[in-house]
Amino acid sequence: MPLDREAAQLLFQVISDSYERRSMVLTTNLEFSRWVSIFYDEQMTAAIIDRLVHHSYLLLYDGPSNRMRTSLMRQDG
């Protein structure tokens, strides 16, 4: 769901305030190239990604959705 300018700036502020001071865990089903459709503009998106990935470990999971699997299991039972 796209954020308006103020919401994107507030989230950027939280990320910036945490940058190199606190740990942060973030999960998403979108690759970074699609984040520009969520945040207000390309510069804001680039700044957010820059702070998030610096000193980070990216864990990529290419398997099937766990939520989808458990949802399908409920339908079978």
pLDDT band for position 6 (50/70/90)?
Answer: very high
Q: What local confidence, expressed as pLDDT, does residue 77 receive?
A: 54
pLDDT above 90 (res 68): no
The reported pTM is 0.75
Q: Please tell me the distance from the alpha carbon of residue 54 to that of residue 50, in angstroms, as a whole number.
A: 6
pLDDT, one tens digit per residue, over 28-51 is 888 999 999 998 889 999 999 999
Considering its fold, how many domains does the chain have in total?
A: 1
The residue range of the domain holding 71 is: 5-76
